[in-house]
Amino acid sequence: MTLDDGEIERSVDLARSGDASAFGRLFDHFHDPIYRFIASRVERPSDAEDLTQIVFVKALEALPRYESRGIPFGGWLFRLARNAVIDFVRTRREHSELGPAAESSGSGPGPAELAELNEEIGAMRAALDALTDEQREAIALRFFAGLSAREAAEVMGKQEGTVRGLQFRAIAALRRRLGLEASEGPAGGDDGGPRP
Amino acid sequence: MTMNDFERGPHGPRDAELAVRLETYARDRLTPDPAARGRLRAELIVRANEVLGPSRAPIGRRGFFGWLRWRVAPAFVAAAFAVVLLAGGALAASHAGGPLYGARLWLEDATLPSDPDARLDAETAHLQARLDEAAAAGAVGDAGALRAALDAYGRTLETAASITGANTDRANRLGWVIGRQRDVLSGLVERLPAGAADAIERTLQRTQDRLQQVENGANPGGHPGGPATAPGPGKSGGPGSTPDPNGPGRTPAPNGPASPQPDASPHSGGPDKSPKP
């Protein structure tokens, strides 16, 4: 379900006045982007599910006191998600890496295709892990959650230009890590360097 | 945002290839499990009814009619007093088993929204309300009210089951709610006298049938641990929850991840037209 800005605002007002189904509409609209943002920042799908639940429960409980104050509801929700991820990473620095094969079922493609897919997924994961935290967050918000640069900047508390720069350097680094870099290409600048 | 946007970027096809790989990664690793989403939604709707509640209507905006309201305040207070008296009598009569209970249920039915999702949310709230009424009647030993509330619960259950149809997401949501309420009903049986317990036993049986029907609707293949099984409250599958049996990456997201943007590079300064989440 997709809602435009006006419908989101109306749904927020209705939910605040006690209409639970309006909150359901907001959930339908924001669940997947919020989940994708969180899942791109934590290792396990079960952690992503738990954190997504925490975000929506917090949003529900804070909704009666919610005031826009220039920040749209979506931005507010993503801030809750960002804080939940930061708290989670801070308190539970778990790196129990599950291989792509363990996370993905093989009901679709055959063994050879699956192996190739797993290799591709693993390479992408490694490339994303090599980004700085801010670059990864910019990619997660812009690409996986589908926010605009302005919205991502609001969530990250940065200038829009800064987010565009982070995204540019992140894409350059991903390209290089994945062997997609043009030899004569202009993107050989600072990518922020891999994380230690 | 489309792949074409990315192909217009500074690295053309190479950026398109990166976009494809990012999309593959997002599809395989970042797609939510529909069953977990359905359970979480159902739980949130139940909580929303508790947290938000119909009595939390926002304070009306002051402004154009403020002065007028002030002028007619005495008359308004008198009228409100009369309405409160009437409403109080009606409210008392509309309690489970009361003479106006049927009228109240009819009114609830008549004001159901037409959208199936919103309708299911409303029926879910009604199911919880009927259950609360049954529990309250059971607590004071009012067998008539208990029977009336349970009858209404059964009818609402039928309506809710018919709304889910073949929609897996709705079936998951209703399955979660029914599973949770079955536990409450089972708890009631143990605390009630035999006559009242019989009525609950019948409702439990009816609930079980509907739960089975909903599970079958959500999961025609009938694989074990299907999506309509009810977890404990407060968790959306919990840390031990398993991924979608069909593979987390095989089910495309309803609104897939956005592709990288043409403004990914500082070289391109075009307007930002990325879709909203």
- ipTM entry: 0.77
Specify whether the CB–CB gap between B16 and B3 falls below 8 A. Answer: yes
Q: Following DSSP, what letter does each residue of chain B receive, concatenated?
A: --HHHHHTSTTTHHHHHHHHHHHHHHHHHSPPPHHHHHHHHHHHHHHHHHHT-TT-PPPPPPSTTHHHHHHTHHHHHHHHHHHHHHHHHHHHHTSTTSTTHHHHHHHHHHT--SSHHHHHHHHHHHHHHHHHHHHHHHHHT-HHHHHHHHHHHHHHHHHHHHHHTT-HHHHHHHHHHHHHHHHHHHHHHHHS-HHHHHHHHHHHHHHHHHHHHHHHHH-TT--TT-TTPPPPTT-SS-TTPPPPTT-TTTS--TTPPPPPPGGGSTT--PPP-PPP-
Specify whether the CB–CB gap between B149 and B96 falls below 8 A. Answer: yes
A30 shares contact with chain B (CB less than 8 Å)? yes
The pLDDT of residue A163 is 92
Interface residue of A164, A176, A177 to substitute, partner B, most B CBs within 10 Å:
A164
A163 shares contact with chain B (CB less than 8 Å)? no
CB pairs under 8 A between A and B: 246
Distance CA A178, CA A102 (A): 22
The yes-or-no verdict on residue A100 having pLDDT over 70 is no
Within the 106-135 window of chain B, which residues sit less than 8 Å (CB to CB) from chain A?
A: 113, 117-118, 121-122, 125
Out of A24, A33, A61, the one facing B277 most closely (by C-beta) is A33
Distance CA A39, CA A125 (A): 12
The pLDDT of residue B107 is 78
B8 shares contact with chain A (CB less than 8 Å)? no
The pLDDT of residue B54 is 55
A183 shares contact with chain B (CB less than 8 Å)? no
Over residues A122-165, the pLDDT tens digits come to 889 899 999 999 999 999 999 899 898 989 999 999 999 999 99
Partners of B266 on chain A (C-beta within 8 Å) are 164-165, 168
Q: How many CB atoms lie within 10 A of CB B70?
A: 9
Contact B48 A64 (CB under 8 A): no
Band of residue A59 on the pLDDT scale cut at 50, 70, 90? very high
The pLDDT of residue A39 is 93
How remote is the C-alpha of B228 from its chain's centroid? 14
Cα of A196 to nearest chain B Cα, Å: 23
The yes-or-no verdict on residue A186 having pLDDT over 80 is no
- For B18, the closest chain A residue by CA position comes to A175
HSE, side-chain direction, 13 A CA sphere, residue B40: 30
Compute CA distances B44 → A25, A55, B52, whole Å. Answer: 11, 11, 11
Partners of A125 on chain B (C-beta within 8 Å) are 25, 29
Partners of B24 on chain A (C-beta within 8 Å) are 117, 120-121, 124
The pLDDT of residue B134 is 83
Distance CA B170, CA B14 (A): 41
Give the global pTM. Answer: 0.57
Partners of B55 on chain A (C-beta within 8 Å) are 18
HSE, side-chain direction, 13 A CA sphere, residue B38: 26
The pLDDT of residue B92 is 57
Partners of A108 on chain B (C-beta within 8 Å) are 247, 250
The pLDDT of residue B203 is 79
Distance CA B39, CA B227 (A): 9
The pLDDT tens digits along chain B (277 residues) read: 444 444 445 555 667 788 888 888 998 888 888 888 888 888 888 888 888 765 444 444 444 454 445 445 555 555 665 565 556 555 556 677 777 888 878 877 777 787 888 888 888 888 888 888 888 887 777 778 888 888 888 888 888 888 877 787 888 888 888 888 877 777 777 766 666 677 777 877 877 787 777 777 655 554 433 333 333 333 333 333 333 333 333 333 334 454 444 344 433 333 343 444 4
The pLDDT of residue B225 is 37
Contact A24 B54 (CB under 8 A): no
Partners of A43 on chain B (C-beta within 8 Å) are none
Q: What is the largest CA-CA distance in chain B?
A: 78
Considering chain A, what percentage of its residues have pLDDT values greater than 70?
82
